[in-house]
Amino acid sequence: MGYIYHERQLGGLCGVHCLNNLLQGPAFGPGDLAEIGVHLDQQERALVRSQSSQSQGGVGLEGQPYNVDSSADGGNFSIQVLTVALERYHLELVPSRHPDVKEKMQDPASATQAFLCQYHDHWFAIRKVLDGWWNLNSTRKRPAQVGPFYLAAWLAQLQAEGYTIFLVLGSFPEPTQPSTDDQHGMENFHAVADLLEKAKSSGGNPVMNEPDSDEEGLADFVELSEPILETHSRVSLADACASMREMGFEKPQIDIALQLGAHDGEVASQFLAIMHPVENPEVGTNPEVWAREMQACILGLDMVNASMDIVVQGLLRIGTLLSYPQALMRRAFEDPNLKFDLQMMHNFLKSVLEHHAKAWDVQVAAAGRHAADLVSLAALRQRGEAVDEEDPEVVIRL
């Protein structure tokens, strides 16, 4: 039977847990990384003193420890510490945005065997073990299966949320096997068979909270051609929405996905995971680019016999574009050269729905009407009009 090694969060030691989960065994303790951090801090202070001495006539600067938080429950280690630690195993960290791996990242599953993810002071690992990908975040109760469909979408969403993603390159050591002689250490080993059984309730969603019960949950993956899937989910809608927010999705995206999934949170999260990302980086800063994307998105729905794949992606894209800052939309409206009016887009979208929605699946049509309501609400904000969020004529109804 195969096992996945997974340490849970203790204090601020996510760096230690991240490396051990990555290496699939208790390779490092807090003292090991602290020693590396202290050594790096000493080197950096010595360099600062040397440079200061040359430029300021002998005045030294001590500075504060940078590579490790030495407080009582600390251990928030820097990227330099983790890099040095992994070098002991002949493993290299490469940023996912580095030109050398840009082409590889088009298919993350074949680019490497593992990723490290960092946001502020938190680190966690994603790794392929025993022919499957796993979310090894130490804040979780247990490892979570990353469905083959989810990996690329999840990494893209993490980056959009502000995470820095590193590819881990090199040959990994063999995973540690559990020993019945170490009962305390056994709590960090999880049988793959048990994890896969629990993962049936998440459908491979890497951040979905899985029930402790071994009863069968959602096992089938939602295909775009079957947007309405009857499930026996035991994950509450509130928990599902929390997981979608954890993945970095915004309310307009989640609302449209819930309509597509007939208010089933698990199905909605799967729709979000297959959503095509907005590739142009200027769309979030340039009002002209944003307006052009929105217009193309809505006009693209005006097709006879459009496949449900195209329609679903278009509706999800509307939710994404409406998730950008209101200031950006206001600039698009106030720019005399653009004068991009979301109310006009709302009117056109309503016309599209009148002509084509009858040919769409029921939930897709419902999502289309919901998207139109969202555009209308955004149009009010774009014009600077007061919006009563409690008004049932304005609030989007789920």
The per-residue pLDDT for range 219-277, each reduced to its tens digit, is 332 333 333 333 334 467 888 888 888 778 999 999 999 998 888 887 888 788 878 88
Among residues 21, 76, 135, 137, the one annotated as catalytic is 137
pLDDT at 53: 52
Q: How far is CA 170 from the centre of its chain?
A: 25
* Span 74-129, pLDDT tens digits: 456 888 899 999 999 999 999 999 999 988 998 899 999 999 999 877 899 999 99
pLDDT at 190: 94
Amino acid at 290: W
What is the three-class DSSP state of 125? strand
Catalytic entry in 122, 263, 286, 347: 122
Total residues found in the chain within this entry: 398
Pick the catalytic residue from 14, 18, 241, 297.
14
pLDDT, position 223 = 35
Tell how many helices (H) and how many strands (E) occur in the chain: 15, 8
pLDDT at position 60, please? Answer: 41
By three-state DSSP, how is residue 160 classified?
A: helix
Q: What angle do CA 191, 192, 194 make, to 5 degrees?
A: 70
Domain ranges of the chain: 11-172, 226-398
137 is annotated as an active-site residue = yes
Can you read off the two tokens belonging to residue 174?
């063999």
Q: Residue-wise over 125-138: b if at least 16 C-beta within 10 A, else e? A: bbbbbeebbbbbbb
- Look-up of token digits 């940023």: 95
Residue 253 has a pLDDT of 94
Where the chain has pLDDT below 70, the residues are: 1, 41, 43-76, 149, 180-185, 201-204, 208-235, 386-398
Closest CA to 298 of 343, 349, 342: 349
Rounded to whole angstroms, the Cα distance separating 308 from 274 reads: 13
Span 11-172: which CATH code?
A: 3.90.70.40
Alpha carbon distance 33, 102 (integer Å) = 30
Q: Measuring CA to CA, which residue among 205, 310, 301, 315 is closest to residue 256? A: 315
At 242 the pLDDT is 86
